[in-house]
Amino acid sequence: MFIKSVAAAIIATATFAAAAPATIAAPQAEQIGDRKPLGAGSAYSWVRRDASGAMSSFGLSFDDKALTNLSGEMQEIALALPAVDGSPFRTAVIDWNPHGHPPEHVYTVPHFDFHFYTIDEASRMAIAPKGEAADAKPAAELLPAGFVTDGETIPMMGKHYVSPANPEFSGGTFTATPIYGYYGGHLIFVESMVTVDYLKSKPALSQPLAQPARFEQPGAYPTTYSVAYDAAKHRYDIAFSAMRP
């Protein structure tokens, strides 16, 4: 669920600066977290490690069948991420939006919101739309340059910040959009919103993830995000990679 009123301000001024799709490197050692049903298939969380044993990426994967027999109602699926020393990310949450969500004519198409939280599930469920924590804004250095919000705090999610340079705000097509989320002025998630149509195109997208000047909480943070289809495994991967210590 996402920004409602910010679109009017940024659609008029934003310009599109898309990076070219790139082939995603083959994963190394993979540690699987939770697996749960999605559509007629299933989805699971994971972390991947490089040859040294350090976490190189985290994400979600699901098979072809997961895009069939999807519910006609909104659905949320929480999947614990494998615990890794040095990683602040704890939970992956898939939000299925069969009719999209506001703003109109921007995100009102069927899509998934793939959230990766730095807080536990009890803390996430306690996120309220009103109050001191809901009203708090992150310090400028904790935000990627140029990212904006409509100011709304979504219950059990937080406050969403997005780049106005995304193509959907300048007459382009919404396909895959990265987002940073905050509550109480603190970073609590990174997210990739991805449309069903884009997934069905079997993409091989890998792009730099905009970075804030600093992170409050110690740990490894991603500098790249990707949305890719593995034809050999008939599997979609949503990944945040190239970890920044």
Q: Which among 169, 199, 21 has a CA at the least distance from the CA of 107?
A: 169
Q: Percentage of residues in the chain with pLDDT exceeding 90?
A: 82
* Residue 115 near residue 157 (C-beta atoms within 8 A): yes
CB half-sphere exposure, 150, CA atoms < 13 A: 17
Q: What is d(CA 173, CA 76) in angstroms, rounded to the nearest whole number?
A: 25
Instruction: State how far the Cα of 86 lies from the Cα of 98, in Å rounded to an integer.
Output: 35
Residue 9's pLDDT band (boundaries 50, 70, 90)?
Answer: very low
- Interval 149-168: pLDDT, tens: 999 999 999 999 999 999 99
Full-model pTM: 0.88
pLDDT at 41 over 50: yes
Whether the per-residue pLDDT at 115 is higher than 50: the answer is: yes
pLDDT over 60 (residue 21): no
Angle at 128 between CA 124 and CA 130, to 5 degrees: 155
DSSP string, 36-61: EEETTEEEEEEEEE-TTS-EEEEEEE
Determine the pLDDT at residue 103. 84
Query: Does 233 have pLDDT greater than 60?
Result: yes
Higher pLDDT, 11 or 193: 193
83-111 pLDDT per residue, tens: 999 999 999 999 999 999 988 888 999 99
For the chain, domain boundaries? 6-239
Q: How confident is the model at residue 182 (pLDDT cuts 50, 70, 90)?
A: very high
More confident residue, 13 or 138: 138
pLDDT of residue 3: 54
Q: What does the alpha-carbon distance between residue 167 and residue 225 come to, in Å, rounded to a whole number?
A: 17
Q: Span 166-186, mean pLDDT?
A: 96
Residue 16 clears pLDDT 60, i.e. is over it: no
What is the per-residue pLDDT for 178? 97
